[in-house]
Amino acid sequence: MRRLLIAFVFSVIPLTAQAQDARLQSLDTTDAGRAWQAVGQLDISGAGFCTGALIAPDLVLTAAHCLFDKTTGKQINPETIEFRAGWRNGRASAYRMVKRAVVHPNYDYGDAVSSERVRNDVALLELRREIRNTTVVPFETAPRPVAGDQVGVVSYAMDRANAPSLQEVCAVLARQQGVLVMSCNVDFGSSGAPIFSFEAGRPQIVSVVSAKAEVHGEKVALGTALDEPLSLLKARLEAGEGFAVAPAPRVNRITVGDARRETGAKFVRPGGS
């Protein structure tokens, strides 16, 4: 499994009450999952899976670390990845192989776990063929949320790999160094899962899950704000970039300012994660 598990401690972030967070609701029936068919499982070379979401007929949004082999650190050939839209109980509403992938240019899988790595942990997958299925409607994206906003998440996980689950209400606890800290319930397999805002009266994606973590002993989800990263990824695709075309270089990464300054966060990656 290509998962990132870190104990993430912000000494400056107070945990707000989470009593109003909704419980996970399984979307294992046709009626329950009807509105969420554009969320799907990414089968990664048959060796693991992540969660992804369709944001255009041929574009899937997910986490960058899903595209790297955790043992070798090398990029996985995206042509071996299959997107299974609305995957539920052994069937999907649409199956598509991936043609090409782009990750944030500042993302480096080999970096030590840090806020920089988390906030750049986003990728776009271009499918070989568009999904033109009236039951699979791509999601729109929306501006990043702020602390105190309510959000929701639809994700797969190791113990619920056969159907996604919805947590319709969780909260943005903080936003620091470009990282969103959320009270959403995620686990292995949830990497790349869409975080939704419902402010517009319909679900719009505002982040993707990068990691599960802990703040003062409480489990949280970490993700990046999408505004600028998503525009950058789309521009890279339009420019013909993508590591199915040629291996992505490990040099010439864009660095703005001193990105490795101390953030006040402590990161620990347990062995075997």
Rounded Cα gap, residues 159 and 67, in angstroms: 22
DSSP secondary structure letter of residue 45? T
Tokens of 86: 């609305």
Domains of the chain are: 7-244+262-268 (2.40.10.10)
Rg value, the chain, Cα = 17
Q: Of 178 and 133, which is predicted with more confidence?
A: 133
Residue 253, class by beta-carbon neighbours within 10 Å (0-12 exposed, 13-18 middle, 19+ buried)?
Answer: middle
pLDDT at residue number 161: 85
Q: What is the pLDDT of residues 16-46, one digit of tens each?
A: 545 478 888 899 888 888 999 999 999 998 8
- pTM greater than 0.85 (yes/no): no
Alpha-carbon distances, residue 74 vs 77, 185, 190, 237 (angstroms): 9, 29, 21, 21
**Averaged pLDDT for residues 102-130:** 89
pLDDT at residue number 45: 84
Residue 243 pLDDT greater than 80, yes or no: no
Residue 252 pLDDT greater than 70, yes or no: no
Rounded Cα gap, residues 102 and 93, in angstroms: 25
CA angle 30, 63, 60 (to 5 degrees): 50
pLDDT at residue number 152: 94
Q: What is the pLDDT of residues 58-97, one digit of tens each?
A: 999 999 999 999 888 899 999 999 999 999 999 999 999 9
Q: Of 138 and 31, which is predicted with more confidence?
A: 138
Residue 56, class by beta-carbon neighbours within 10 Å (0-12 exposed, 13-18 middle, 19+ buried)?
Answer: middle
Alpha-carbon distances, residue 264 vs 8, 69, 143 (angstroms): 11, 29, 26
